[in-house]
Amino acid sequence: MNKHGKIALLCIILVFTAAAAGFNYDNNQKNHKGRTRLDPGQFQSIGFYSNLRKSRQEYASDRIVVKFKPMLSEQAAAAVVQATDSQIIKKISQFNIFIIKTPQETPVEEMLYTFQRNPDVEYAELDYKTRITVTPNDILFEYQYSLSNQGQAIGIPGSPQGKNSADIKATAGWEETKGLEDVIIAIVDTGVDLKHPDLINKLYSDGYDFVNDDDEADDDHGHGTHVAGIAAAETDNNEGIAGVAWNCKILPVKVMDAQGEGYYSWMISGIDYAVQQGAEVINLSLGGDVDSANLKNILKAAYENDVIVVASAGNDNNPVLYPAAYDEYCLAVAASDYDDLRPDWSNFGPEVDVAAPGVRILSCVPTWFWGPASLPYAFSTGTSMAAPHAAGLAALLKGIKTWLSPSDIMNIIRYTSDDINQGEHPGKDDYIGYGRINMEKALVPIKITGGN
């Protein structure tokens, strides 16, 4: 063969060898993603996959995970590994998977490619890093089954155990957002303990007291402090509990007295005040039996001012209370429990939009509540405790999707809920509405997969 012939032959070999390598590489990539293995002749095999680039995920620089073909003996596998100057660190016999330490002088990506090309290897992968989901360090977090339920005992020894995953998936939701400081949740209630260690840094202002007509919305009952803690207690501060909306601010508005009672006029004034103060979300863990045009109008005004109003359905196993019953302007929240069941006292009706945990919920109580010798936290039950879970979620959504209307945000909360009673009442029903709220689905991008 003359010189030209040799060069020509070399070029052809180069092109077609590289093409063949492309076929193999493509197949290996597809396999390690768990897809169907393709025959080299199939159309999809034409070409190269892109993953020789540096992955954006982190992985061990000296380790890979290899699965050899089932017919290969352990000795033969060991010989394959030895031939690459690598070492077997561990074998998971049941699956014929080997964790292999790669030689220091060779980049791990190169070793991966070597193993992927080996015909004895079913697939080889980098040893990617894992991480835990966001778990706050608040010392009482383990008792907050509503945020993360792993079937733990709820409260003191002898308390019932929850059902795994009967929660609002808060830890997964916090991966996406923990809220913005400039999103304000108004707690229109009995006031908020302005000196509570888990709330003091979260207050937007001292608020307003419509019961005593002064500008200190302190809590002389305890209910409002409990509600505020659920929605937005200071979180990851090594103290107390975690709130749903870590970073959002609380605006205390006192519209109920020391007995936990108030008047519609106080509530209407409180809602109006919250809107004027710039609250994006208003939580109303209160209600009355009487329909009121004034109350409806003030809710309408809040809604038209882009404020999301969340209200509790009530605790009497009766029709939904007002203002929760004003369906158009308000997200009505019923209760679920630590087993994802509806407690029989939770109010019902077509106005119920969603449910949230409302049984044995741990949250803040005023510092005077137990006295100085005890931690200022307590368990409480009711749809009053359910509503602030949804209000916290609304605040998180408002922070990352600022352009959405209250109607959109309420719909997101509704449509991303888990239909926990679908066996009994499939679809939207009068008891838990669309279902128990799910922070993960509402906040974290939902993965859509699909082929041809």
Residues marked as catalytic: 189, 223, 384
CB 247 within 8 Å of CB 174: no
Rounded to a whole number of angstroms, the minimum distance from the CB of residue 136 to another protein is 23
Residue given tokens 């393709």 in the structure block: 38
Q: Binding to another protein by residue 50, rule CB under 8 A?
A: yes
Report how many residues bind another protein under the rule CB under 8 A: 52
Binder of another protein out of 171, 247, 347, 417 (CB under 8 A): 417
Tell me the C-alpha distance between 160 and 148, whole Å: 15
Q: Measured from the CB of residue 182, what is the shortest distance to another protein in angstroms?
A: 19
Pick from 1, 34, 39, 54: which binds another protein (CB under 8 A)? 54
Q: Walk across the sheet containing 249-254 and list its strands.
A: 208-209, 249-254, 184-189, 281-284, 308-312, 331-336, 352-357
Residue 323: is the preceding peptide bond cis (ω within 30°)?
A: yes
Instruction: Give the residue with the Cβ less far from another protein, 14 or 200.
Output: 14
Q: Judged by CB under 8 A, which stretch of 53-61, 68-76, 263-271, 384-392 contacts another protein?
A: 53-61
Does residue 451 touch another protein according to CB under 8 A? yes
Minimum CB distance to another protein smaller for 11 or for 258: 11
CA dist., res. 308 & res. 330, Å (int):
7
Instruction: For the CB of residue 443, give the shortest distance to another protein in the complex, in Å.
Output: 7
- Does residue number 56 form part of the binding site for another protein (CB under 8 A)? yes
Among 196, 331, 418, 421, binds another protein (CB under 8 A): 418
Q: Which residue has the tokens 């949250």?
A: 363
Residues 6+ apart with CB under 8 A from 106: 85
104 binds another protein (CB under 8 A): no
Is 446 among the residues that bind another protein (CB under 8 A)? yes
> DSSP per residue over 381-401, as a string?
-SHHHHHHHHHHHHHHHHHH-
Site string for another protein, 375-414 (x = CB under 8 A): -------------------------xx--x---x--xx-x
179 near another protein, judged by CB under 8 A? no
Which tokens sit at 295? 């109350």
**264 is a site residue for another protein (CB under 8 A):** no
Rounded to whole angstroms, how far apart are CA atoms 149 and 169?
Answer: 8
Tell which one of 62, 122, 419, 430 touches another protein (CB under 8 A): 419
Return d(Cα 325, Cα 321) in angstroms, integer. Answer: 6
Q: How far is CA 261 from CA 211, 258, 267, in A?
A: 10, 7, 11
Binding site for another protein (CB under 8 A): 4-5, 7-8, 11-12, 14-16, 18-19, 22, 43-44, 46-50, 52-54, 56, 176, 400-401, 404, 408, 411-412, 414-419, 427-428, 434-435, 441-452
